[in-house]
Amino acid sequence: MSAPVWNNKVVKWVDDRLPVFTMLHHSAYEYPTPKNLSYMWNFGSLAGFVLVTMILTGIFLVMNYTPHADMAFWSVERIMRDVNYGWLIRYIHMNGASMFFICVYIHIFRGLYYGSYKAPREVLWWIGILILLAMMATAFMGYVLPWGQMSFWGATVITNLFSAFPIIGDPLVTWLWGGFSVDNPTLNRFFSLHYLMPFVILGLVVLHVWALHSVRSNNPTGVEIKTPQDAIPFHPYYTIKDLFGMGVFLIFFMFFVFFAPDFFGEPDNYIPANPLVTPPHIVPEWYFLPFYAILRSIDFTVFGIPAKLLGVLAMFASIIVLFVIPWLDTSKVRSSKFRPVYKWFFLILFIDCFVLGYCGKKAPDDYFMGIEGLKVIVVGQLATLYYFAHFLVVMPIVGKLERPKPLPTSISESVLKEGANA
């Protein structure tokens, strides 16, 4: 790549001493991107936009928040009522968490469908899963900070899960709490970590983008860039496409901020935390519900291992299994567009995750969607079984037995063929 020539004297003076503009030129303007990327590829940049929004709104919220068990709830109420535009900053931050997970979950499902985890993108995929884990930790600790009923009892239930581990479990829980129950030390350390973790996520995102620029973007065909005709510069083509997608996304985002700010929340969290009154039904935020359903679905012992420990292990395994997907998928074809059998199993997985979310929201003894005789716990167990079977059984077997459709010889050929069919 040749060094760009800068006409602006100030830009040239700075770039000669710190080549930041040259770096941006190479990583944006000259970065070759497949010419056939769809709007499904917008969600990575949208997730980055929401991350920056969350960091900025979080910094302003911290200026008025008090991390103390006696004052946390009321400091949030003061932000909402007395701080200029505090209500807006908090609602953007509150709903921004849900928007972040929506973008990242769509980003992950897109990667699963189009095989973006396959060689040479394994490390890129791993960093993405690490970002998801860091997001989960950050979101959980952030949910505790308003110190309402659901915050307090959610923290109590989730941290108590670590007591399932033999020998180290109880000391680990005491260490997490900073005492013998969820109290002021717990709130303080969660606040500190919640403020730190977004910058860890930001660092992981930088690594993620770096890895992406090393191995290039995947595309809907799964065929690599072979000639210059297969690619176009990222700027201006995809910057304009991303800006349009951001405009549409902001309409969706701002609808919840201004018209339904508590849609994703729990009414019980508007009651101050009370250690003496347990809410009738403790549920985590919606983005944790599928994992919570997997945790609850194990209500039996195996070889003397208690159900609680098995549930915790299953919940962690549901994320750890994502790290080994590049080796579980035995198909030589990346994109599910050319896999007539597997694409239906992928659709079942997609529906299965929604079923798990529904089961996580409901009480175990409730009837599934009002169907008498069909308990939520039973459906949750079946959905959990398919979740693991999809990765551990379906992927390896279908990849070996399936006969994929013929792949286009190049990205350009697929674009020309789609244009002709249109």
User: Mind telling me the catalytic residues?
Assistant: 213, 217, 241-242, 285
Nearest to 275 by CA among 187, 394, 209, 161: 187
Quickly count: other Cβ atoms within 10 Å of residue 338's Cβ.
20
Distance CA 353, CA 357 (A): 6
Distance CA 42, CA 217 (A): 12
Quickly count: other Cβ atoms within 10 Å of residue 76's Cβ.
23
Nearest to 200 by CA among 141, 303, 131, 273: 131
C-alpha dist (Å) from residue 209 to 123, 137, 363, 389: 11, 21, 41, 31
Distance CA 250, CA 220 (A): 25
Contacts 24+ apart (CB under 8 A), 369-372: none
Q: Record the tokens describing residue 139, joined without a space.
A: 């979101």
